[in-house]
Amino acid sequence: MSVLGEVKRFQHKYLFLVEIGDFDRAEFKSCSELSAEIAKIEHWEGGSLIPYKEPGRITFTDVTLEAGVTISRELYDWFKEVADAVADSGYIVPEFKKDVDIVQLDRDRSRIRIWTLLNAWPTKFVAGEWNNEEDGVVIESVTLTYDIFRRPEDA
């Protein structure tokens, strides 16, 4: 403990992993932020100068995962299953939805916090960009939509 109070211990953003159902691969270069917003409904009654406010719909932003391309086909295969189901029947078959855990790690790789995306499914897959004038690896990305996010300890 310092003279000014308790020493803060910030969590590092580069220490994370992603767990998707029964996938083997859970290492990603980046994961976009988790964000939710509750709409605000305002209306005025009887000439009031102050609006009455109440909550509206809640929206959760999609999450994009990026990873260096390997021989693994799991992300692409998941996207293809969803795309084929939509093309055949016009809707997502429930078994293609997966819970996705975004796990924050400590320096010793122990789990600090878990965020779970419930009923996630891919809406976009990008195979990567190729350029003969650059060094580096091809990066593929998948964008996931989901119903809601939770921390398991919230349940």
Q: Structure pTM?
A: 0.82
pLDDT digits (tens, 9 = 90+) for 46-84: 888 999 999 999 999 999 999 888 878 888 999 999 999
pLDDT score of 80: 93
Contact 122, 78 (CB under 8 A): yes
Q: Of 85, 78, 61, 21, nearest to 145 (Cα)?
A: 61
CB burial string 26-43: b at 16+ within 10 A, e below: bebeebeeeeeeeeeeee
Q: How far is CA 36 from CA 60, 63, 142, 148, in A?
A: 4, 11, 19, 9
pLDDT score of 46: 87
Higher pLDDT, 92 or 109: 109
Contact 97, 121 (CB under 8 A): yes
CATH number of 16-40+54-154: 2.30.110.20
